[in-house]
Structure 1
Amino acid sequence: MCCPSATLAVWTSAWLSGAAASDDVLDALLVWGEAHEVVAGDAEAAVTLDLPLAGDFPVTPVQLLAALRSRSAGGARLVLPVPGDVRGLGGGGTFTEAALRVGEAMLLPALGFGLVPHAIAEGLVRWTVYKVDCRGSADPVGIGEAEHGLTDAIRDSAGTLQALDLARDRPGVRAELSAWLKARPKLMWPAGTPGRALRVLQRADEIGAILALAEADDPGGALSASAALRRADALRPLGEAVRVARYAAVNEAVRLLTEHNRQP
């Protein structure tokens, strides 16, 4: 499913372009935690955005939003890095390391800052802001390419699983999928979020649910080690396609929301 960085990227972009209120941004974040706090991960972020350094008393996202508004932050961008694929992160350093640890981050390319969320306690999310070299961080994956990639990965993974005799039907699987999806946080998106982006996100969530069930489907450890490894290899491209689809859909939503609301 999507993540805190996706929520913040879309809602902050909508707010900065006049399509949402600051309270809407704060309300949307509540699905990820009852409280959110913000600190700076380095001195430049602390001075530029008037934020406390990590280790000092944190501030609320309200202060962060005020700093972004006063500096014409522009649109945000979601990144979902994994080892071997750090597209969109720009330069390396502390920000890249932090983003890789949690598998997500939000970039503010116009300002040269990145934010990484971390759940530090039940119901509490801390956002750490880092100075980032955003040169070369442009999004290389369009939503059309990502959508086709997801379709291709579904077909290829299904064929591989059938060939391995691992795509077994299981009684009650539809009910399990429905329950899994219903248990996920119910995300809100701004009015005007493009329908194609929402459809791709929904499809990615549905495939993500199937992946989660497939990866857990080994009652009593019935699969041999070699069969489990082959299944993991078959599912890996599909998991990658889901990640890229989410990444592309969120950034397409940000792009269109920002462009539409800049028009006179």
Structure 2
Amino acid sequence: MCCPSATLAVWSSAWLHGAAASDDALDALLAWGEAHEVVAGDDAAAERFDLPPSGRRPATPVQLLAALRANGATTAQLVLPVPGDVRGLGGGGPFTEAALRTGEAVLFPELGYGVTPLPIAEGLWRWTVYRLATPAPPEYTGLAEAEHALTDAIRDSAGALQTLDVARERPGVRAELSARLRSSPRLDWPGGTPGRSLRVLQRAEEIGAILALANADDPGGALSASAALQRADALRPLADAIRAARRAAVNEAVRVFADQADRTP
């Protein structure tokens, strides 16, 4: 699967550009949880987005969408940060810290704000809006480039694991993989989402499920700490490529919705 931030980025962009109804955008979030609330992470976000701070009665995603439109948002950008790779977050500060904790966020670059999701109870997600500490530099990876890099990373990781002798198939691995994929939320995407973006997201989901199994407690028969460390090093480029592919697929969909709106008379 991808993540709640991907759902918000694509659907909010489709809605902002007239390619989706607000009810459909809100319904898409329900794949992740039956309830969503929105708060401000700082005074600037509270004032600009007319949102309550954390600890007060939260707002709803309806109010977030309305605030995005009222503030002139025109695009969104998915970021999937990890320690050592915080590109696109606009420097340090509370937003960067929150995005690293969740591993995902949505940027609204022209506004200078970002949103992070966090599950806080069964079926309940809290979205927090932050002002960026510094402007986020543009981050763009072409979808074809990201897809090619994912293919290369799959090949290189497989070769490295075979060399380390930790790629032996364990019993029941196909059933584990199928179960993991079936347990992923069934996501809807707006009409007009590029087919190639959807294909890359699906491929990234499948490879991500395989990677999760490879990182399980006794993956591939890696019995020693040194072998486990070597395995992690071998798989890190694949994890990076999966994140890059997901970002590129979502951000390409956002770009297409914006371009379609620009061409509409």
The TM-score with structure 1 as length reference comes to: 0.95
- In 2, Cα distance between the equivalents of 1:241 and 1:195? 20
Which residue of structure 2 aligns with residue 46 of structure 1?
46
**Aligned-residue RMSD, C-alpha:** 1.7
Equivalents in 2 of 1:206, 1:143: separation in Å?
A: 17
State how far apart, in whole Å, the 2-side matches of 1:224 and 1:123 are: 38
Q: How does 1:204-243 map to 2 (within 5 A)?
A: 204-216=204-216, 218=218, 223-243=223-243
Deviations along 1:82-138, whole A, 9 cap, x unmatched? 111111112321111111111111011122211011111111111110112563421
Q: Distance in 1 between matches of 2:176 and 2:117?
A: 30
Per-residue deviation at 1:235?
1.1
> SS of the counterpart of 1:216?
coil
Letter in 1 for 2:62: V
Which residue does the alignment assign to 1:108? Answer: 108
Q: Distance in 2 between matches of 1:64 and 1:216?
A: 38
* Alpha-carbon shift at residue 175 of structure 1 (Å): 2.5
Partners of 2:9 and 2:76 within 8 A in 1 = yes
TM-score of the superposed pair, with normalisation by structure 2: 0.94
In the alignment, structure 2 segments of 5+ residues that lack a partner are none
- Displacement of 1:156 in angstroms is 0.6
Work out whether 1:21 is the aligned partner of 2:59.
no
Alignment of 1:48-67 (within 5 A): 48-67=48-67
Moved more, 134-143 or 17-26: 134-143
Which deviates more from structure 2 when the two are superposed, residues 165-174 or residues 41-50?
165-174
Q: Distance in 2 between matches of 1:58 and 1:6?
A: 22
Q: For residues 238 and 21 of structure 1, what CA distance do their matches in structure 2 show?
A: 36
Q: Which residue of 2 aligns with 1:262?
A: 262
What's the secondary structure of 1:73's corresponding residue?
coil
Match of 1:185 in 2: 185
Q: Distance in 2 between matches of 1:160 and 1:110?
A: 42
8 A Cα contact 1:87 1:140, kept in partner = no
Alignment map for 1:164-175 (pairs within 5 Å): 164-175=164-175
- Corresponding residue SS for 2:88: coil
Name the structure 2 match of 1:197: 197
C-alpha distance 133-217 of structure 1, shift in aligned 2 (>3 A)? closer
What is residue 84 of structure 1 aligned with on the other side?
Answer: 84
Q: How far 1:142 sits from its partner (Å)?
A: 2.0
1:196 Cα shift? 1.0
Partner SS state of residue 31, structure 2:
helix
1:132 is matched with 132
Secondary structure of 2:83's counterpart equals coil
Identity %: 72
Mapped to 2, the partners of 1:136 and 1:66 lie a distance apart of 23
Would you say how many aligned residue pairs link Structure 1 and Structure 2?
A: 264
Cα shift at 1:65: 1.2
1:232/1:203 CA distance change after superposition, 3 Å:
same
C-alpha separation in 1, matches of 2:223 and 2:35: 42
8 Å contact 1:88–1:139 — kept in the other structure?
A: yes
Listed one character per residue, the Cα deviations across residues 41-79 of structure 1 (whole Å, up to 9, x for unaligned) are: 111111111111112111111111112222221111111
- d(CA) in 1 for partners of 2:222, 2:196: 40
Q: Please list every run of 5 or more consecutive structure 1 residues that lacks an aligned counterpart in the other structure.
A: none
Structure 1 residue ranges (4+ consecutive) displaced by more than 6 angstroms after TM superposition: none
Provide the C-alpha distance between the structure 1 equivalents of 2:211 and 2:91, rounded to a whole number of angstroms. 32
Kindly provide the amino acid, as one letter, of the partner of residue 49 in structure 1.
F
Listed one character per residue, the Cα deviations across residues 221-251 of structure 1 (whole Å, up to 9, x for unaligned) are: 8611122221111111111111111111111
Separation in structure 1 between the aligned mates of residue 53 and residue 230 of structure 2, nearest angstrom: 46
Map residues 155-166 of structure 1 onto 2, 5 A cutoff.
155-166=155-166
Moved more, 90-99 or 132-141: 132-141
